[in-house]
């Protein structure tokens, strides 16, 4: 539960000292301890020493970049929430980051509003993970265990691609999921046209009346 007066700890790995200090200041009232590291290698050492509950890391850093750091952490811990602090100039890294099971990509500049949104999303995910099912609205419910979606008590048949898309959008609900991340989740490294993804989204909308999947041109899709 990532809420005010939390008993959890957070590690911030950011080589820009001013940015690191600002994020630490914004989060100090939200966590029991805010830990700072100023390059990837120091981040790895602090992770081993402090065993934090959540990690925020930049990508471009000296000694060890953010992706190398995340790979090391993932080899040790597959479930710890990791958030990338990214800028528009980092967009070419994001495809490499998709397999690393990240929680979010938090776009710079970092504000209190963005951090609050992140913490609320993590809290919601924590609650969702404690249950096998989630209510999308008062008439629609998805069951992660049976891979089934119910609307007004009726089970709707979904293809495996529609199930993969549904679960990805639910896990990142309220946030834009990039076309590249969705395509990787659905098709792996197989090359497909963007139109193939549009067809899956269109079919899902037709099957689940009232499902609010919003397209953001040139970026991706968001489930509201």
What are 140-179's pLDDT values in tens digits?
888 887 788 888 888 888 898 998 898 888 888 888 888 8
Question: Which comes out higher in pLDDT, residue 87 or 215?
Answer: 215
Name residue 35's beta-bridge partners: 11
pLDDT at 97: 57
Q: Looking at 61-65, 66-70, 91-95, which range is the least confident one?
A: 91-95
**Cα diameter, the chain:** 55
Q: How confident is the model at residue 57 (pLDDT cuts 50, 70, 90)?
A: very high
Q: How far apart are CA 103 and CA 20, in angstroms?
A: 20
Radius of gyration, CA atoms only, the chain: 18
pLDDT at 53 over 80: yes
Task: Identify the CATH assignment for 131-223 out of 1.10.10.10, 3.30.1360.200, 3.40.140.10, 2.60.40.10.
Answer: 1.10.10.10
pLDDT at 131: 53
Instruction: Please identify, in words, the CATH class of the domain defined by 9-127.
Output: alpha beta
Determine the average pLDDT of the residues in 196-219: 91
Q: Is-contact 140 211, C-beta < 8 A?
A: yes
pLDDT at 5: 43
Q: Which two tokens stand for residue 105?
A: 């990509």
Taking the domains of the chain in order of start, what are their residue ranges?
Answer: 9-127, 131-223
Q: Looking at 12-26, 45-59, 95-109, which range is the least confident one?
A: 95-109
pLDDT in tens, 69-117: 998 998 888 778 888 887 755 555 555 555 556 667 777 888 888 888 8
């Amino acid at each position: 539960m990532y809420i005010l007066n939390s008993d959890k700890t957070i590690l911030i790995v950011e080589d820009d000292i001013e940015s690191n200090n600002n994020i630490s200041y914004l989060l100090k009232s939200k966590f029991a301890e805010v830990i700072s590291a100023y390059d990837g290698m120091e981040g790895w050492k602090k992770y081993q020493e402090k065993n934090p509950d959540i990690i925020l890391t930049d990508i471009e850093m000296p000694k060890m970049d953010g992706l190398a750091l995340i790979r090391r952490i993932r080899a040790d811990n597959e479930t710890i929430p990791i958030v990338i602090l990214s800028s528009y100039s980092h967009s070419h890294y994001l495809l490499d980051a998709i397999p690393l099971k990240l929680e979010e990509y938090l776009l710079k500049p970092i504000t209190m509003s963005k951090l609050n949104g992140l913490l609320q999303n993590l809290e919601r995910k924590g609650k969702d993970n404690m249950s096998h099912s989630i209510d999308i609205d008062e008439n629609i419910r998805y069951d992660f265990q049976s891979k089934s979606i119910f609307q007004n008590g009726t089970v709707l048949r979904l293809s495996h691609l529609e199930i993969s898309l549904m679960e990805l959008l639910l896990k990142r609900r309220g946030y834009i999921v990039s076309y590249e991340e969705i395509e990787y989740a659905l098709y792996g490294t197989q090359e497909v046209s963007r139109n193939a993804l549009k067809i899956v989204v269109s079919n899902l909308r037709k099957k689940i009346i009232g499902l609010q999947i919003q397209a953001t041109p040139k970026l991706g899709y968001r489930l509201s």
